[in-house]
Structure 1
Amino acid sequence: MRTSRPARRRTAVIGTAAAALLTVTAALPAFGATTTPPPVRPAAQTAAQPARGGSPESTVDRVADFYGAYIDAVYDEDGTLAGQLRTHYLRADLRKRLASWESKNHADGVLRAQNVPVKWSVSYDGSGTGSTYTIVTLTWDSGSHPSTSRVAVRSSLETRQITDIKEAPATPAR
């Protein structure tokens, strides 16, 4: 003798399968309809940008901060900001020496040039006798033949102010 139990199970399974099929079918586009694929981003937009950071306690970071802000101010022709940056980051006796150098050379003493670089980088060059030494590399042309110059910067470990800026020796050829 058969009971109605198996029939109920069959109906429940068929009903569940039909509901699942309707759900999947509803999610699909209508016959002949097209869907727009998601936009493809160019590689330049998806590439990770270099991280930037620093510490107010690091004299090397402070030199990098100064040169980055100073170059921006000179590039933007903001003499007021450039002067304020010099007052904050450069020791008073260096500011006097730079003024004398600039008068003789008709150029910016911080950059050791008459124009503004298109790029800059700062690298650690040693420490000793209460000072940290860094080399600032300035890139002058973004064309196919960029030129660079280097500036040697000395900073006080005690005050973290820049105490000297001079032209660095050329990098030896390899």
Structure 2
Amino acid sequence: MAVTTALLTAGPLALSAQAVDAPTAPAVTAAQQSRAEVRVNSFFRDYRQAVLHKGPSTPAQVRARYLAPDLDKRLDAWALQHDADPVFRAQNVPATWATRYEGSGAGHSTVVLTERWSGGAKQEVWFSVRLQDLVINDLKDPAS
């Protein structure tokens, strides 16, 4: 994790705020994103690739790398209760996504990730990122 944190703070990495398979999306650099947005975007990209069997890791390995252990357990329970992927909050994989910084306080940042499916449907998932170590410690449906 120290290497990832160092990379995130080392300089402007060119990161897309959209999925890799959406080449028409404008690139957003790390310099334009908060550290929490970069972290959520990296997690979502890696997790999506793992679910699609296109990356070197399994979904469980990606979750273990980015998520707090108690959140990982809560997501397992959510998946059983809803019969859907607990990160995507759906039964299928979104085609693209975008992140936005929602604010910070008490050592955490909130990042809203908007998922989009090829049929035009979209939904938001709210992430909480602990600023001290950039661990994602909460993920939930939109705030009420």
How far apart are residue 75 of structure 1 and its match? 2.2
**CA–CA distance in structure 1, aligned partners of residues 25 and 121 of structure 2:** 25
Query: Is 1:148–2:125 an aligned residue pair?
Result: no
1:159 to 113, 133, 136: 133
Look up the equivalent residue of 1:163 and give its one-letter code: N
Q: Give me the identity figure in percent.
A: 34
- Higher normalized contact order (CA 8 Å, seq sep 6+, divided by chain length): 2
Structure 1 unmatched runs, 5+: 1-47
Runs of 4+ in 1 over 2 A off after TM superposition: 48-55, 75-81
1:54 to 1, 8, 30: 30
Q: If you compute each CA radius of gyration, which structure gives the higher value, 1 or 2?
A: 1
**CA–CA distance in structure 2, aligned partners of residues 140 and 104 of structure 1:** 23
How far apart are residue 93 of structure 1 and its match? 0.5
- In the alignment, which residue of structure 2 is the partner of 1:87? 64
- In the alignment, which residue of structure 1 is the partner of 2:76? 99
Calculate the aligned-residue CA RMSD, in Å: 2.4
Preserved contact between residue 68 and residue 120 of structure 1 (Cα < 8 Å): no
**CA–CA distance in structure 2, aligned partners of residues 160 and 140 of structure 1:** 27
**CA–CA distance in structure 2, aligned partners of residues 135 and 124 of structure 1:** 6
**Relative to total residues, which structure has the larger strand share, 1 or 2?**
2
- Count of residues paired in the alignment: 119
- In the alignment, which residue of structure 1 is the partner of 2:116? 139
**Relative to total residues, which structure has the larger helix share, 1 or 2?**
1
* Cα deviation code 1:38-79 (max 9, x no counterpart): xxxxxxxxxx98445437x81210111111121122123769
- In the alignment, which residue of structure 2 is the partner of 1:74? 51
Structure 2 unmatched runs, 5+: 1-23
**CA–CA distance in structure 2, aligned partners of residues 138 and 50 of structure 1:** 16
